[in-house]
């Protein structure tokens, strides 16, 4: 049985090169989208923490309004399924990239979908920081920006890396979904060959490659978080 399975997965050179190329495209979309999503999501997550009731910002109408707006925006975008969001932002994608298909175009909806997800992960990580450490910094006269960068982000770095690892895996899954509309990468290969042409061998190989990518990202992220965890020293 195993010999038949292995023989069924044997590839010709052209197919192998296609899979290698599209694995690279998938990584390109995933890594760039994650980086761009963090540019948006990290400040949003910090803002959610400092403007929340009992947060670092002084109480007032601006603080309460800012938190409510951010909270609604994050929850609204997160509630939209990725495939629907992919279609909804096609006009924006065309305006930015010039087209609505292909790996580079897919980065736009990937970033929009991932940013609020990352904001919640960042918020959760920062809320785990010991209140006593924050109060100690405040008693020493530290400014809000000093507390954010030297206390909150520094103390939560292990949790933030774990969150980044989760984000990478999630965005990798999103990038595969984008194959439905010609987004490129392994998802596109799975749809074009595995679904439309009934080549189940290609379908299984793309699944295996996606699983391997997630495992590699998870192992790297876990090792990095353990290395930076002060509790393990």
pLDDT surpassing 80 at residue 137: yes
Asked if residue 198 belongs to a domain, the reply is: yes
Instruction: Answer yes or no: are the C-beta atoms of 156 and 125 closer than 8 Å.
Output: yes
Q: What is the pLDDT of residues 205-225, one digit of tens each?
A: 888 888 898 899 889 888 888
pLDDT of residue 232: 52
pLDDT confidence band for 43 (50 / 70 / 90): very high
Asked if residue 163 belongs to a domain, the reply is: yes
Handedness of CA 43, 46, 52, 56 (dihedral sign): negative
Q: What is the pLDDT of residues 44-79, one digit of tens each?
A: 999 888 888 877 777 776 777 888 888 899 999 888
Asked if residue 3 belongs to a domain, the reply is: no
| Max mean pLDDT range (88-97, 127-136, 221-230) | 88-97
pLDDT of residue 120: 92
What is the domain range of residue 163? 12-223
pLDDT of residue 10: 59
pLDDT confidence band for 2 (50 / 70 / 90): very low
Residue positions counted in the chain: 233
Interatomic CA distance for residues 38 and 24, integer angstroms: 21
pLDDT, average across residues 120-145: 86
pLDDT surpassing 80 at residue 179: no
pLDDT of residue 127: 87
- Which tops the pLDDT comparison, 57 or 113? 113
pLDDT of residue 9: 53
pLDDT confidence band for 155 (50 / 70 / 90): confident
End-to-end CA distance of the chain: 48
Q: What is the pLDDT of residues 6-36, one digit of tens each?
A: 455 556 677 778 888 888 888 999 999 999 9
pLDDT of residue 11: 62
Asked if residue 228 belongs to a domain, the reply is: no
Asked if residue 229 belongs to a domain, the reply is: no
Contact partners, residue 41, CB within 8 Å, separation at least 6: 114, 115, 116, 117, 118, 119, 121, 122
37-68 CB burial, b ≥16 within 10 A, e <16: bbebbbebbbbbbbbbeebbbeeeeebeebbe
pLDDT, average across residues 188-193: 80
User: Could you tell me where the beta strands, DSSP code E, fall in 52-186?
Assistant: none
Asked if residue 143 belongs to a domain, the reply is: yes
Write the CATH number for 39.
1.10.3720.10
pLDDT confidence band for 90 (50 / 70 / 90): confident
User: Could you tell me where the beta strands, DSSP code E, fall in the chain?
Assistant: none
Over the chain, what is the mean pLDDT?
Answer: 83
pLDDT surpassing 60 at residue 171: yes
- Domain total for the chain? 1
Task: Tell me which H or E stretch contains 83.
Answer: helix 82-88
pLDDT of residue 52: 83
77-100 CB burial, b ≥16 within 10 A, e <16: beeeebeebbeebbeebeeeeeeb
Asked if residue 2 belongs to a domain, the reply is: no
Asked if residue 123 belongs to a domain, the reply is: yes
């Amino acid at each position: 049985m195993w010999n038949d399975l292995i023989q069924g997965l044997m590839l010709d050179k052209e197919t192998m090169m296609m899979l290698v190329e599209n694995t690279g495209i998938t990584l390109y979309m995933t890594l760039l989208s994650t980086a761009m999503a963090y540019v948006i999501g990290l400040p949003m997550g910090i803002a959610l923490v400092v403007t929340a009731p009992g947060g670092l910002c002084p109480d007032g109408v601006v603080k309460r309004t800012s938190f409510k707006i951010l909270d609604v925006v994050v929850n609204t975008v997160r509630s939209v399924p990725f495939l629907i969001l992919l279609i909804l932002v096609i006009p924006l994608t065309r305006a930015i990239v010039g087209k609505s298909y292909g790996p580079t175009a897919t980065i736009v909806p990937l970033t929009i979908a991932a940013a609020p997800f990352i904001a919640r992960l960042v918020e959760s990580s920062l809320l785990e920081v010991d209140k006593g450490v924050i109060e100690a910094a405040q008693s020493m006269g530290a400014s809000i920006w000093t507390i954010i960068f030297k206390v909150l982000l520094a103390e939560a770095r292990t949790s933030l890396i774990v969150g980044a690892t989760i984000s990478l895996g999630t965005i990798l899954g999103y990038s595969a979904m984008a194959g439905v509309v010609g987004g490129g990468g392994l998802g596109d290969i799975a749809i074009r060959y595995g679904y439309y042409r009934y080549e189940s061998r290609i379908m299984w190989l793309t699944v295996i490659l996606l699983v391997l990518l997630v495992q590699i990202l998870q192992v790297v992220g876990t090792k990095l978080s353990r290395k930076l965890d002060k509790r393990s020293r």
